[in-house]
Structure 1
């Protein structure tokens, strides 16, 4: 039943919002300041997901299918997406959960992301996407090209994940100053307490693992995904073709609703209208994310969380070039902001 997609989406949206889990910040921190805390949390997420996926595959619950590596599309799409998500102010999931919080800029980014991904996957841009993705290398995974068991790579990745989690949690032993809690018990934990990024990563990895067999049971042999479901939702709204409404579409609807519920429960929901410049950046960012994700075969979920967990070259290469694109965009926007501030009269900058 595709309704399970809605349930998984509700849980994922809630966790993303409360855990503030957005890959854009992880990539931006990595390239600008060298801070690896959030990127390390992403590694933990991938490791948990990888253990779950290959465990389910070994048990025959799901079937992980190998595919060729569309190297050129992955590089181009990854760069475009990485640059665009900084302009948009969030990756695919970050845009969804921030839209659920009431950020109007994210509404614009989300609308244009979904619209452009539909153009590139279902509309006139589909031929460009298919042409780029037809340029492939046959061996698409580490295990296929090396002949090693995937469990070798699972073990290596898991060891790295444990090391970085322990390393960062030891570095952050000083508790942050917080106000006295207003809630108690589970209510405090779910809607008030600050979530640890590594605990959030583990929970998302578990949700991502559960998602796969639930999705496969409906005939969609895949797990979490944002770009294609967003494109399909847009296609359905434009054409009324009910065949486009699948498990993935229900998932993204659930993410939006789940993040709204989390924001309301934690008192973080507020309609925030940005200035004109931010709106323009959000629109361009949304357009770029739709183009980049369609060409790369996925966003920071499909590539950086799911494809990486299967040790597909597409996932790891796309992630690398997303980091490069995000770093370039972050440095570009910071320099532009500094120039704009310097150009303002002194009295307009004073407070």
Structure 2
């Protein structure tokens, strides 16, 4: 990788942004402490969200990019990072689930049942595979391409100053309300009868489930490597180039603890995808062990959507679908753990750029683009709640917790994403035309 001269890096450094980040950290610390005095878990949710956001931005790590980057550039670097993330999390989760089974004297089946006698941390990610998962995954895949990011990516992009993400997020929340109603209706229909819940260790044992899951990851690796090779042969492959300010600086003889070179290394230089993926995996396991549930994003969006619609005059108090959500909203969303973690992601992403003096608002788009962001947000909200999860809850967490439906969601999401890329290529400002001509 090319290195930036330390003189150029210093010239592009804005100390005011660092000062703002320090003030923001102090305020967030005070806010987190205030939350912890009411409920320690609320503080944990905020802090873990901040860390997730910081990692996502510092490594430019995103789950939607696992579909978009290979399609646009032929490059599989992010996909490799994602596969490492999945592999590490799968092995760690197997240990947690197996340990729960042994220590509690439970059966494998009991470990996978949320709310049962011996549920393992993260057992809430084990869900039925049915038509709703397939449809929801496909719709979500199209939406994430239109909006320019998935559920976690939309939050991170908003923290980075992308105005389009604010548009997508607003409509994401509204779409989540519709999606929850659609899934409630689906579950009461005869279509829900065509459903199966398979926890892989129950069929193959924990070692077998690990080996099978890793085998699937290896197949994905082979597919993306062959595709990358094909793109290199036809001359349409592109290397992923870091922007100059994110590159390492040239080493000097003036290295010290309190000089710019050290600061750049720790707070400015971009992390590679493997580093980002490993840190995401560590945080995922931390969340699972401290909260008993997996990392989820879109459940909170339904609460946000209900809050918006109540402000517009709708009443959900007597609804069998939304009454519990409405009660939580009325008690204050800052008392809602999922909301705090999602807000933390926004703050963490903003801090990553402010500490690196790279934050700026990005709003260069047309009305057509804005309309597509909005529709994409609706699609993501609907798809996520219809499938009961996004590419975090229904994909990453589900696969890591050995739920078969996660693999089905992955296929549906990928097909939806590719469909969106093929249709909107060259039509949407965030999806330019690829250069597929031979060199």
Shorter-chain TM band:
0.7 to 0.9
Aligned counterpart for 1:313 among listed residues 368, 393, 404: 404
Change (3 A) 1:309 1:179: closer
Alpha-carbon shift at residue 107 of structure 1 (Å): 0.7
Does the aligned pair in 2 maintain the 1:79–1:324 contact within 8 Å? yes
Partner of 2:136: 77
Change (3 A) 1:68 1:262: closer
Alpha-carbon shift at residue 209 of structure 1 (Å): 0.8
Change (3 A) 1:269 1:211: same
Aligned counterpart for 1:247 among listed residues 330, 337, 343: 337
Residue 6 (structure 1) aligned with residue 66 (structure 2):
no
Alpha-carbon shift at residue 141 of structure 1 (Å): 2.7
Cα separation, 2, equivalents of 1:190 and 1:16: 15
TM-score by length of 1: 0.82
Aligned counterpart for 1:281 among listed residues 372, 393, 407: 372
Residue 262 (structure 1) aligned with residue 352 (structure 2):
yes
Q: Secondary structure at the match of 1:23?
A: coil
CA deviation vs aligned residue, 1:142-192 (integer Å, no higher than 9, x gap) = 333xx2113323245457869969x98xx999997747368333x323421
Alpha-carbon shift at residue 64 of structure 1 (Å): 4.8
Q: What is the RMSD of the two structures over their aligned residues, measured on CA atoms? A: 3.4
Partner of 2:178: 119
**Structure with larger Rg:** 2
Does the aligned pair in 2 maintain the 1:224–1:301 contact within 8 Å? yes
Cα separation, 2, equivalents of 1:101 and 1:129: 37
Instruction: Specify every segment of 5 or more residues in structure 2 that has no aligned partner in the other structure, as ranges.
Output: 1-40, 104-119, 226-231, 233-237, 251-258, 311-325, 434-439
CA deviation vs aligned residue, 1:249-278 (integer Å, no higher than 9, x gap) = 221111111111112112232112122122
CA deviation vs aligned residue, 1:219-264 (integer Å, no higher than 9, x gap) = xxx2111110222244356454338744322211111111111121
Partner of 2:414: 323
Partner of 2:57: 17
Aligned counterpart for 2:123 among listed residues 65, 68, 71: 65
Does the aligned pair in 1 maintain the 2:248–2:265 contact within 8 Å? no
Alpha-carbon shift at residue 2 of structure 1 (Å): 2.5
Cα separation, 2, equivalents of 1:334 and 1:287: 20
Does the aligned pair in 1 maintain the 2:182–2:386 contact within 8 Å? no
| Structure 1 segment 124-143 matched on structure 2, within 5 A | 124-125=181-182, 127-128=184-185, 130-131=187-188, 134-143=192-201
Partner of 1:189: 265
Change (3 A) 1:179 1:19: closer
Partner of 2:26: none
